[in-house]
Chain A
Amino acid sequence: MTVQDLDKIKQNALKALESINDLDDLNTFYPTVLGRNGELTLALREMKNLSPEERAVFGQHANTVKKELEEVIENKRKALADAKMREMFEKEAVDVTAPGKVCIPRGRIHPMTQVYREIRDAMIGLGFTTYEGPEIEYEDYCFTKLNLPKGHPARDMQDTFYISDSVVLRTHTTPCEVRSLLSKKPPFRLVIPGRVFRVDEVDASHSPVFMQMEGFVVDKNLSLRDLKGTLIEFVHTVFGNDVNMRMRPSYFPFTEPSAEIDISCTICGGKGCRVCKGTGWIEILGCGIINPHVLENCGVDPNEWSAFAFGIGVDRVTSLKFGISDIRLEYENDARFLRQF
Chain B
Amino acid sequence: MKLPLRWLKEYVDFDISIDEFKERMIMRGFEIAEVIEEMPNISNVYVGQVKSIAKHENSDKLFVCAVDIGRGENIQIVTNASYLFEGAIVPVALDGATLAGGLVIKNTVLRGVESYGMFCGKSELNIKDHEITGADDRILILNDASMIGKTIQEALGLDSVIFDIEITPNRQDCQSIIGICREAAAALGKKFKEPVIKHIEGSGNAADYASVTILNPTLCPRYVARVIKDIKIEPSPLWMQTKLRSVGLRPINNIVDITNYVLIEYGHPMHAFDLACVDSGAIIVRNAYENEKITTLDGVERETTPEMLLITDPKKPVGLAGIMGGENSGITENTKAVLFESAAFIADNIRRTSRKLGLVSDSAQRFMRGVEPVNAYLALERAVELVHELGAGTVVGEVIDVNYADISQRVIEVDTKRVNRIIGEELSPEYMKALLETINIESTVKGDTLVVNVPHYRVDIESGIESDHDIAEEVARLHGYEKLTPRLMSGRTFSGKLEPHVQAEDNIKNLLAGFGAYEMYNYSFMSPADLEKLMLPKDSRKRQAVRILNPLGEDQSLMRTTLTPGMLNTLAHNIRHKTKHNRFFEVGNIHFDKEDLPEEVKMLGLAFMGDGENFFTLKGVIEALFEFLGITGYRFKAGGSDYLCPGKKAEIFVNGDYIGEMGAVHPLVEKEYEISSAYIAEIEFNKLLKHKAAVKKYKSLPKFPSVERDIAIIVDDSAKCDDVCDIMYSTELDCVIENVTLFDVYKGAGIPEGKKSMAFSYTLRRDDKTLNDKEITEATNKLLMALECKLGAKLRQ
Chain A residues with CB under 8 Å of chain B are 102, 104-110, 112-113, 117, 120, 123-131, 134-138, 150-154, 156-157, 161-164, 167, 169, 187-189, 191, 195, 197, 199, 201-202, 208-209, 217, 219-226, 228-230, 232-233, 246-251, 253, 256-259, 289, 291-293, 296, 302, 306, 330-336, 338-339
Contacts and interface: CB of A to CB of B under 8 A. Distances in A.
Given A128-B496, A163-B549, 19 more contacts: A107-B513, A107-B583, A130-B497, A135-B524, A136-B591, A153-B347, A189-B494, A223-B421, A223-B422, A223-B487, A224-B423, A225-B486, A250-B29, A251-B29, A259-B481, A296-B465, A333-B522, A333-B574, A338-B519
B519 A128 contact: no
Given A112-B521, A201-B552, A135 B516 contact: no
A229 B489 contact: yes
Contacts of A188: 494
Interface in B508-542: 509-510, 512-525
A280 B583 CA distance: 40
16 contacts: A107-B512, A127-B496, A128-B496, A129-B498, A135-B589, A163-B549, A187-B491, A219-B492, A223-B425, A224-B484, A226-B490, A229-B488, A248-B481, A251-B170, A334-B573, A338-B520
B574 A335 contact: yes
Contact of A137 (B26, B481, B521, B597): B597
A249 B583 CA distance: 46
A199 B171 CA distance: 25
A154 B351 CA distance: 12
Contacts of B772: none
Contacts of B556: 208
A257 B422 contact: yes
A161 B29 CA distance: 29
Contacts of B548: 161-163, 169
Interface of B: 26-29, 168-172, 346-348, 351, 368-370, 421-425, 465-466, 468-470, 472-473, 476-477, 481-482, 484-499, 502, 506, 509-510, 512-525, 546-552, 556, 559, 570, 573-574, 577, 579, 581-584, 588-589, 591, 597-598, 600
Given A107-B517, A223-B422, A331-B523, A124 B489 contact: no
Nearest to B494: A127
B172 A153 contact: yes
A188 B523 CA distance: 32
Contacts of A163: 546-549, 598
> Which of A219, A229, A335 gathers most chain B CB within 10 Å?
A335
A259 B520 CA distance: 33
A248 B347 CA distance: 28
A226 B486 CA distance: 6
A187 B551 CA distance: 39
B522 A226 contact: no
B514 A107 contact: yes
Nearest to B493: A127
A130 B499 CA distance: 6
Contact of A222 (B172, B370, B482, B489): B489
Contact of B582 (A226, A230, A335): A335
A249 B473 contact: yes
A117 to B, nearest CB: 7
> Which of B486, B509, B525 gathers most chain A CB within 10 Å?
B486
Contacts of B27: 248-249
A195 B524 contact: yes
Contact of B484 (A129, A151, A247): A247
B625 to A, nearest CB: 13
B407 to A, nearest CB: 21
A260 B522 CA distance: 30
A151 B591 CA distance: 29
A260 to B, nearest CB: 8
Contacts of B513: 107-109
Given A105-B583, A108-B518, A256 B473 contact: yes
Contacts of A136: 546, 559, 591, 597-598, 600
A250 B556 CA distance: 33
A253 B548 CA distance: 26
B492 A110 contact: no
A129 B581 CA distance: 38
A109 B519 contact: yes
Contact of B465 (A137, A154, A293): A293
A130 B502 contact: yes
A229 B486 contact: yes
Given A113-B519, A189-B494, A251 B171 contact: yes
Nearest to B34: A277
A195 B589 contact: yes
A334 B487 contact: no
Contact of B551 (A131, A137, A161): A161
Contacts of B521: 110, 112, 330-331, 333
A134 B579 contact: no
A137 B559 CA distance: 13
Contact of A232 (B486, B547, B589): B486
B465 A332 contact: no
A111 to B, nearest CB: 9
Given A167-B597, A195-B589, A334 B574 contact: yes
A333 B28 contact: no
Nearest to A258: B473
A291 B462 CA distance: 12
A43 B269 CA distance: 132
Contacts of B489: 127, 217, 219, 222, 226, 229-230
A247 B481 contact: yes
Contacts of A250: 29, 168
B501 to A, nearest CB: 9
Nearest to B519: A110
A331 B600 CA distance: 21
Given A105-B516, A107-B518, A336 B169 contact: no
Nearest to A245: B486
A208 B368 contact: no
A162 B422 CA distance: 36
Contacts of B551: 161
A223 B490 CA distance: 10
B469 A225 contact: no
Contact of A134 (B509, B516, B573, B600): B600
Contact of B506 (A117, A195, A224, A334): A117
Contact of B348 (A110, A151, A199, A221): A151
B524 A225 contact: no
A332 B520 CA distance: 8
Contacts of A117: 506
A122 to B, nearest CB: 10
Nearest to B168: A251
Contacts of B465: 292-293, 296, 302
A228 B483 CA distance: 11
A130 B493 CA distance: 16
> Which of A131, A134, A249 gathers most chain B CB within 10 Å?
A249
Contacts of A223: 421-425, 487
A225 B579 CA distance: 51
A188 B491 CA distance: 12
Contact of A135 (B171, B550, B600): B600
A249 B423 contact: no
A256 B347 contact: no
Given A223-B422, A225-B486, A338-B519, A251 B169 contact: yes
Contacts of A191: 496
B484 to A, nearest CB: 5
A129 B497 contact: yes
Given A154-B169, A251-B29, A124 B488 contact: no
Smallest CB-CB A-B distances: 7 pairs = A151-B348, A223-B424, A225-B424, A249-B29, A127-B494, A251-B168, A104-B516
